[in-house]
Amino acid sequence: MLRPASAEDLAALVALARHPDVAATLSTRAADTLTAESAAVLAIEDRGRLVGGVCWALVNRRSRIAEVRTLMLDPAARGRGLAVATIRELAARLVHDHAIHRVEAEVYGFNGRAQRVFERAGFTREGLRRRAYDRAGGWQDGVRFGLLAEELIDNRRCNR
Ligand SMILES: CC(C)(COP(=O)(O)OP(=O)(O)OC[C@H]1O[C@@H](n2cnc3c(N)ncnc32)[C@H](O)[C@@H]1OP(=O)(O)O)[C@@H](O)C(=O)NCCC(=O)NCCS
């Protein structure tokens, strides 16, 4: 279940984003941007417990493009498909409730697990930003993902 993060959630999510395993896979500013006013932060809840978070931002108002950022789950909550369900639900909300036309995300090239999550959630791998980030002791690729509103509707029809 996804819900707006409360102040209490935010403190727990900042701590999760700073956990070394998680921090290594997020942008260097992720923990700080969680508390920035521009970020829409959602808490991921499972059986009444906070297990992670995800953010989104409107990156182009005229063309109605949103970007998904800072997807993270507590290590104990991983491997159960929660991340895929979260991205599917967030994309559906962005399209249906916020009239978003295109949802984007970027994942480090070394983060195969997160790439698989976006693929399983119906996103298309749209491109590779080669050696874009100075991270983890070397230059890392950024893998770009995109999902169009009409694809979300088509995917739903196919999955029925
Ligand atoms: C990314 C994250 C949210 C994914 O959640 P998760 O619960 O671990 O996801 P799952 O275990 O369900 O794995 C998702 C898929 O990746 C696959 N996978 C797991 N490890 C993998 C790897 N090293 N390489 C490629 N695919 C992998 C799984 O098999 C699964 O695919 P399947 O459903 O087809 O079997 C979680 O690992 C996390 O919080 N990581 C730290 C933060 C992070 O990396 N965020 C992403 C920033 S873009």
Q: What pTM was estimated for this model as a whole?
A: 0.93
Q: Which residues, other chains included, contact 126 with Cβ-Cβ below 8 Å and sequence gap of 6+?
A: 144, 145, 146
CA of 137 to the centre of ligand 1 (A): 22
Digit-coded pLDDT (tens) for 6-44: 999 999 999 999 999 999 999 988 998 888 766 699 999
Cβ of residue 66 lying under 6 Å from some atom of ligand 1: no
Cβ of residue 78 lying under 6 Å from some atom of ligand 1: yes
Share of the chain above pLDDT 70, in %: 93
How many other C-beta atoms can be found within 10 angstroms of the C-beta atom of residue 100? 23
Specify the pLDDT at position 157.
62
Average pLDDT on 119-133 reads 97
CA of 119 to the centre of ligand 1 (A): 11
Query: Domain 2-158 belongs to what topology?
Result: Aminopeptidase (3.40.630)
Q: What is the mean pLDDT of the chain?
A: 93
CA of 53 to the centre of ligand 1 (A): 14
